[in-house]
A and B are shown apart, each in its own frame.
Chain A
């Protein structure tokens, strides 16, 4: 039973979504909107699960005094702070001027943006040490990258300023993006779409069960 019920659920729900694409009326449209509503609610719980799991792991770390446990305490405290202000704020919790908004602007934004901004430095350093034109394919890649990188900023047009306007770098970049890139992306896209169709089919029919985990 532990295995069969999930397989039945997956089958029924998947089939309803496929059928309601073709048959636009009752009962499938009704089911589809029900499932859509449920999905939205389950999605919220999935996020809570993640948050609660984080709290669980952090608490265990503190209790067992594992390495770096003070940082786990910091995580829990900051979680609690924003959650408390969020609840306290009521429905307008994130209106400009609220404490929650203050936390969003000055703490959350600063931290999350900087975290991802670090990548700028890693890209640069990898450019110096790792990106090599070691064969024809890699050379092609780097040359295309140069065209795009120069063509998408004014400096490209400045370098090619001696050429007529429609032959300047930005037009080359446009061409690379709209023609060459489109062609390649399309091939990848069609391939991925077919892959997704066959994976989805296997999932709906219960041939693919790895998402259910072991035992």
Chain B
């Protein structure tokens, strides 16, 4: 038996099984979903085993000519994580969890502050005067500056939205709406692309109808 042809048929069957959910929840969908959950958990399990445990930990801690001993601490923290599976000693899993949360908080604090706040503020500072890029650029600069400032006003909670401040907040929400519209359009594009990929598989790879 040719495994490739069998694979294509199997994949087609599974694809249709999941699509059948559109009609209603049914046994094919449930079976496909169950397989999906198992396969994807297994996939992650294996890749993490080979790439992280063998490819990194084992090489660094044991195989390397100059073993690094500190990674053993990481291993212990990791094993403590598995304590969660038990109700009795589950509390000890908080130690690795605290490590993860602390590391993430420390790193995010700097990452987001610099890249998403400071750099963005700095690059919003633009001239409202022609400096060689044409007046359309100036117009665009004005739009961006108004958009960012008014958007920030909308998310400002220490003052009532009234008077000039209220107007700014209103303009801010309009900008946010256009932004959401752009995301909306892009998300639709994305979702449709995903389905196109599946149809290409069904009617191209499997049924061989697509030129």
Q: Is A144 touching B50 in the complex (CB atoms < 8 A)?
A: no
Task: Take A2-B94, A38-B71, A179-B140 as given contacts and tell me if A56 and B181 are in contact as well, using a CB distance cutoff of 8 Å.
Answer: no
Q: Which residues of B contact A110 (CB under 8 A)?
A: 10-12, 14-15, 201
Q: Is the CB of B70 within 8 A of A184?
A: no
Q: Which residues of A contact B (CB under 8 A)?
A: 2, 5-7, 9-18, 21, 34-35, 37-54, 56, 68, 71-72, 74-83, 86-87, 91, 93-94, 100, 102-121, 123, 127, 137-138, 140-149, 152-153, 175-194, 196-197, 199-201, 203-204, 211-213
Measured between alpha carbons, how far is A83 from B39 in the docked complex, in Å?
9
Would you call B204 an interface residue if the criterion is a C-beta within 8 Å of the partner chain's C-beta atoms? no
Given contacts A52-B82, A111-B18, A121-B22, contact A179 B36 (CB under 8 A): no
Binds A, one of B127-135, B158-166, B170-178: B170-178
Given contacts A117-B194, A141-B180, A180-B179, 10 further A-B contacts (CB under 8 A): A41-B57, A44-B48, A49-B81, A77-B38, A79-B45, A108-B43, A148-B185, A179-B144, A184-B178, A193-B120
Residues of A within 8 A of B183 (CB): 181
Residues of A within 8 A of B167 (CB): none
Cross-chain contact of B74 among A42, A79, A112, A179 (Cβ < 8 A)? A42
Q: How many residues of B contact A (CB 8 A)?
A: 116
B207 at the interface (CB under 8 A from A): no
B87-118 interface with A by 8 A CB criterion: 91, 94-103, 105-110, 112-113, 115-117
